[in-house]
Amino acid sequence: MRRCHLLIPVLLLAAACGGDDDPAPFASITEFSPESLDPTDDAADDLTILLEYRDADGDLGDGIAEVHDCRAEDLVATFDLPAIASEEAVEDGVPIEGMLSIVVADVGDIPTDSRPPRACEDLGIDSVASGESVFCVVLIDAAGNAGTGDCTGTVTIATP
Ligand SMILES: [Ca+2]
Ligand SMILES: [Ca+2]
């Protein structure tokens, strides 16, 4: 009997960790382009990131997407997300998933910090070489839940 009682909480915990009911939005980058940016050329300094999102309770719409440029702490571009699900669906907490395209315009030539920002480190980016960067996207829903983000591969930043 005792053994059965012990098993129940463990199974519940495993379900909660599975992420399916997590109210925080999940992001997974599927594509980014171009792989090389030139800050001196306005036509060649814009990065497009394509990502898949999933939100178990449907309120990602009217939230924000943060894009962290892993070269330095305060290089965060913030994008307001449009409404995604209908008001009724948000009220009912209907799960949503889909694709988002984000354009980080006019990436500049800035010095690289010795350590990447915390948001990037949390996603496994330990270091960024000079002349390169990595961009990490974190989605935050309308209720303020920040989900697990995802990062691009290495983007070359041309330096004069
Ligand atoms: Ca949510
Ligand atoms: Ca540009």
- The per-residue DSSP string of 117-148 comes to -HHHHTTT-----TTEE-EEEEEE-TT--B--
What is the CA(10)–ligand 2 centre distance, in A? 51
pTM (predicted TM-score): 0.86
> 78-136: per-residue pLDDT in tens?
999 999 999 999 999 999 999 999 999 999 999 999 999 999 999 999 999 999 999 99
What is the CA(55)–ligand 1 centre distance, in A? 5
Give the three-class secondary structure for 149. coil
> 27-55: per-residue pLDDT in tens?
999 999 999 999 999 999 999 999 999 99
Tell me what pLDDT residue 81 has: 95
- CATH code of the domain occupying 20-157: 2.60.40.10
What is the CA(127)–ligand 2 centre distance, in A? 26
What is the CA(98)–ligand 1 centre distance, in A? 14
- Which of the ligands is closest to the CA of residue 108? 2
